[in-house]
Amino acid sequence: MLNGKCECEAVRYRVADEFRYAANCHCSNCRAATGSAFKPFAGIEREKLEVTDGADRLLIWGDADNNHTRCGVCGSLLYSVVRDGSYVHVALGSLADTPAVKPTEHIFVGSKAPWFEITDALPQHEEHG
Ligand SMILES: [Zn+2]
Ligand SMILES: [Zn+2]
């Protein structure tokens, strides 16, 4: 299992190291949600992630089955519930441990920040990979 946490450590979670895919998303929503050039994330079945601390302090933006889940104290983005609740996209920066997967592609490069240059050799996709 991998441990994850928010910046202030009010929220902690555990997730199986069994991610199905991982990517760097450059879409405008991910850039705004993270305040960064892109969001590295990895997808896994929702039931494989468990909030172990601070479940009553979550800030859930969206509905139960499609949302961004953040710490309600410090605001760190932890994960997003996607695909009608079947998967979560874990914000890789919230992991305290090292997952077996690494992002394999850049997606939504068509809406990439103009001030950021991709300098690695990973495949780039205009939209979905
Ligand atoms: Zn926090
Ligand atoms: Zn995105």
Instruction: Report CA(102)–ligand 2 centroid distance (Å).
Output: 17
Say how far apart CA 20 and CA 22 lie, in whole Å: 7
* Rg, C-alpha atoms of the chain: 14
- Return the ligand number nearest the Cα of 78: 1
Furthest-apart CA atoms within the chain: distance in Å: 41
**Domain spans of the chain, in order of start:** 2-111
Q: What is the pLDDT confidence band of residue 128, given thresholds at 50, 70 and 90?
A: confident
> What would be the CATH architecture of the domain defined by 2-111?
Beta Complex (2.170)
Place 61 in a pLDDT band, splitting at 50, 70 and 90.
very high
Confidence (pLDDT) at 14: 98
Q: Which residues are within 5 Å of ligand 1 (an ion), measured at CB?
A: 6, 8, 10, 71, 73-74
| Cα separation, 64 vs 86, whole angstroms | 11
Q: Given a cut of 80, is residue 129 above it in pLDDT?
A: no
pTM: 0.96
Q: Around ion ligand 2, which residues have CB less than 5 A away?
A: 25, 27, 30
What pLDDT shows up at residue 118?
98
